[in-house]
Structure 1
């Protein structure tokens, strides 16, 4: 790359190109006595599923004492569709105890697990142990296809196996292929390429301009907010089988509060692709979409690197024609979509004859033991004794599947002994909440989220009870900054960190995940959040039309009514 070319791209682009396909100098850094990695290696490590963090609760004290920040690593796994075998889950549980400072695990909105607080000296052992359990972290972060997500509900309908098949095939096509991962973390042996072979046939030397998210759902069940992804596949079901997919493109939640040119966007329908026996046609369509982002996405300013900005800058017509050119065929118009639910699959459900699954609410995605709820221990014991499959949901919950009906009472008893409530023992509004990790480990957070929302929820439970809204599907989400990691911008009520202890309130959205909300108030102190939303909920109860849901009411009533 010439000096002139380097001036046109962001610093991260230069680091990627010089990383030798994600090798950097990570191997050498793992052998030194430093507690942290260099800035360049920090960027490369993201592709390996690793974020360097520090405990922000300790920053001021350590600075006052003239000491270095308390650095540790967060490891994120890549688990397509969020499905783990029992022994794989138990490996995560053991690693959390042995190597993390927090002794817990975090379910993400990408249906995977994060381990926070791993010291640099334990990083290689942790990743290698996961690899031995057939779990990878490659591609869980970084500028490539992230963990591909899929409706987590199990069942004996043929379309669920078909979705799983297509999910795994797509995840394989969009995954990074670099040998650097095994060289660094597994066996240390370079892999020789054959004549004409290339290490990264899809991504080349510089991968994508930004992260790329993919989701698959059956039509009607938007449990994972498919419109929030760069690429969404909506499966059309006929006679219990998938006949094809409507392809959605250009979704993304991220924005920057101080930059008005950044914004959340819901994806747009692009085309319909018949499945029949030609699964390869679906995969080729998806690959063509990814290569357009690879070739035309903004590499000069990372704020605008996501595909949503490319589509809005060039237009959907240009994008459609570019896909057709790469495929060598015309695209079929997308089908009309109908959505029936956006709820998670909580509680007991029939999986197949004699077999059930249990969707458990995990408070804000954190699997941990407290004095009142020994959630981590209960799940470990249940998985060890009853051997269910583990399925993480995109709403940060967990499904225990493959449970014989006669075992249901024993599992319920084990949960109650540990203080873990069943979903039907929780309020409806609590089940519909999500929060990002935020402080103390996220370097971008400006306000609390995961640690703050539990203190706010009793106020909303009381408010909903007073207003007769206890059975209403109203989603509440909180994030520590504007980046949108808990998908706040299509929630009915969202609190987005703006400054320490202060939040912007966004209202509207859709419990079905099909509409964006809009800003209602700015920089509201945490103590006033419920009070600020109360008049709007009171108006909704008084003036809703028929069975109108909250999001529809808000879009009809309009934000201006409440801003004066």
Structure 2
């Protein structure tokens, strides 16, 4: 097969994947190399399939260069955990691993999973082994495969949660790579394949052209932004039963400054399938993307571009040919919000569930606010589970009333009680950005809380402190924090400067539009204040900020991703 592939026409990563011997590469040699804290260049691509990104501490790069030292290399490790659910014991293990091998914090991501930051190469194997000790793993958390499957997060909001989380696990399991490389390299299992025999029946020798993301939601909650996913399933409930799922395809938010041919795109609803057809539909959508996605230009390789290049009708026909049946007509549904509903809520299971705001998704002890310590104590007494949401927050789920009271006591003791948080802050998301992300042009996680505080002053001035407004910030246009679906989106252009986007919908169904380009904090506040004032004085009853922005023509609505401009 390799003789028939015109490698010179394909992206460099395609050859790396093919030559990796099903994701082995030279990772073992890289790990054993004592000369550098980095891994070999090609292995930085292969390692992503194992849930690992090589990074440097950009805060120290200049100083180390002056000292003629190599950059301070370390690694991000991302866990695969469909639906974001972990036991208290697994939480405690991640807490301990973060202290022993990482930077002492846990990052709750927008894909309902953990990230560890600051893991040195010498500790990679030990970290992954300890993660696996508690029946978690990191395989396929990154790379050109289906990644962590997201789903509706809150058991208290729907009696159908058990069915949804089970589906997320089944879909994720079905779409896992079959190679034994992960177990050989990290868990010291015996080599099970040393030739090009066919061991990836779904993905093949080169895997997918680009990453692939799946989310499952239960209306009216759109808490994992289903329109941002390559493939989404919207539960349709009739007669107290999930009758099936509307199928959404072609979402994706990454783009590149200066390349208008790249753009965020909201997914299209293409039909309806029965519950027993979901895995088949997911597999066939992936197969169509595997065989037709762009392998020449990685910036055009996501499913959204495949659909726009070949046409939505063509794509649906191709999926249905492989399925051997046609999707039914999509059913009606309605979303009311994309964020989380905070506070304690008693579920239909007669247990208590607390949705807790975690700023920037960063679990840490900070001054007198000892969140990491508090959650460690909660895990030790919990008789329920922990669930990570798609908005970087945490649900302490399924606890008894006795434990509920103890949780409140623990939070009070460590100064982390969830009180007095503004509607804007509750709906904020920030990507990691500086100092570890190599793609970031500007701050996000470290800066957004400060900016929110300054916007809160304006909101208070106009009696809007409690008004829920979705704000999201990223350090670059790749979209990890889903900024393009926010009512207020901020994307870093350079240190201290951001593009300001307005007009996304509160329920996550609409892209926002560029309002001002390359502006400073002072300018951001100057631009937002008169709009906030107008919103306070002129909004209709129940009108959300993003809808108001469009009605008052501050920006024009974008109907298709191809219309988007930075």
Q: How many Å separate the matches in 1 of 2:96 and 2:59? A: 26
Offset at residue 238 of structure 1 (A): 2.2
Partner of 1:253: 253
Partner of 1:334: 330
Offset at residue 345 of structure 1 (A): 3.2
Residues 193 and 199, structure 1, Cα contact 8 Å, conserved in 2 = no
Residues 354 and 405, structure 1, Cα contact 8 Å, conserved in 2 = no
Q: In structure 2, which of residues 433, 436, 441 is the aligned counterpart of residue 441 of structure 1? A: 436
Offset at residue 144 of structure 1 (A): 0.4
Change in CA separation of 1:158 and 1:534 when aligned onto 2, cut-off 3 Å: closer
Offset at residue 48 of structure 1 (A): 0.2
1:39-98 deviations in Å (ceiling 9; x for gaps): 100000000000000000000101111111000011000010000011111111001110
Residues 245-324 of structure 1 correspond to what in structure 2 (within 5 A)? 245-275=245-275, 279=276, 281-324=277-320
Q: How many Å separate the matches in 1 of 2:240 and 2:127? A: 41
Partner of 1:461: 456
Q: How many Å separate the matches in 2 of 1:25 and 1:146? A: 23
> 2:381 aligned with 1:379, yes or no?
no
- The SS at the match of 2:32 is coil
> 2:54 aligned with 1:47, yes or no?
no
Q: How many Å separate the matches in 2 of 1:548 and 1:379? A: 36
Residues 495-534 of structure 1 correspond to what in structure 2 (within 5 A)? 495-534=490-529
Offset at residue 466 of structure 1 (A): 1.3
Q: How many Å separate the matches in 1 of 2:549 and 2:300? A: 29
1:439-471 deviations in Å (ceiling 9; x for gaps): 000000000000111111111111111112233
Residues 88 and 382, structure 2, Cα contact 8 Å, conserved in 1 = no
Runs of 4+ in 1 over 6 A off after TM superposition: none
Q: How many Å separate the matches in 2 of 1:486 and 1:294? A: 26
Partner of 1:213: 213
- The SS at the match of 1:56 is coil
1:225-251 deviations in Å (ceiling 9; x for gaps): 111000000001123321100000000
Residues 38 and 54, structure 2, Cα contact 8 Å, conserved in 1 = yes
Q: In structure 2, which of residues 62, 65, 70 is the aligned counterpart of residue 63 of structure 1? A: 65
Q: How many Å separate the matches in 2 of 1:245 and 1:440? A: 41
Residues 144 and 208, structure 2, Cα contact 8 Å, conserved in 1 = yes
Q: How many Å separate the matches in 1 of 2:555 and 2:47? A: 45
TM value normalised by structure 1: 0.95
Partner of 2:559: none
Q: In structure 2, which of residues 355, 364, 369 is the aligned counterpart of residue 359 of structure 1? A: 355
Q: How many Å separate the matches in 1 of 2:214 and 2:349? A: 32
> 2:411 aligned with 1:418, yes or no?
no
When structure 1 is superposed on structure 2, of 11-20 and 406-415 the one drifting more is 406-415
Q: How many Å separate the matches in 2 of 1:492 and 1:28? A: 47
When structure 1 is superposed on structure 2, of 508-517 and 470-479 the one drifting more is 470-479
- The SS at the match of 2:60 is helix
Partner of 1:478: 473
Partner of 2:15: 14
Partner of 2:391: 395
Partner of 2:548: 553
Partner of 1:142: 143
Offset at residue 523 of structure 1 (A): 0.5
Q: How many Å separate the matches in 1 of 2:64 and 2:120? A: 17
When structure 1 is superposed on structure 2, of 451-460 and 158-167 the one drifting more is 158-167
Residues 107 and 362, structure 2, Cα contact 8 Å, conserved in 1 = yes
Residues 362 and 396, structure 1, Cα contact 8 Å, conserved in 2 = yes
Q: How many Å separate the matches in 2 of 1:493 and 1:71? A: 34
- The SS at the match of 1:498 is strand
Cα RMSD over matched residues? Answer: 1.8
Offset at residue 417 of structure 1 (A): 1.1
Partner of 1:107: 108
1:132-184 deviations in Å (ceiling 9; x for gaps): 21111000000000100001101495522211221111111111111000010
Residues 81 and 167, structure 1, Cα contact 8 Å, conserved in 2 = yes
Q: How many Å separate the matches in 1 of 2:555 and 2:136? A: 50
* Unaligned 5+ runs, structure 2: 557-566
Partner of 1:36: 38
- The SS at the match of 2:347 is strand
Change in CA separation of 1:80 and 1:483 when aligned onto 2, cut-off 3 Å: same
- The SS at the match of 2:160 is helix
1:476-506 deviations in Å (ceiling 9; x for gaps): 1111011111000010001100111100000
Q: Count residues in correspondence.
A: 554
Q: How many Å separate the matches in 1 of 2:274 and 2:189? A: 43
- The SS at the match of 1:541 is helix
Q: How many Å separate the matches in 2 of 1:511 and 1:528? A: 24
Residues 386 and 394, structure 2, Cα contact 8 Å, conserved in 1 = yes
When structure 1 is superposed on structure 2, of 545-554 and 162-171 the one drifting more is 545-554
Q: How many Å separate the matches in 2 of 1:9 and 1:268? A: 29
Partner of 2:185: 184
Offset at residue 4 of structure 1 (A): 6.7
- The SS at the match of 1:326 is helix
Residues 503 and 555, structure 2, Cα contact 8 Å, conserved in 1 = no
* Unaligned 5+ runs, structure 1: none
- The SS at the match of 1:336 is coil
- The SS at the match of 1:520 is strand
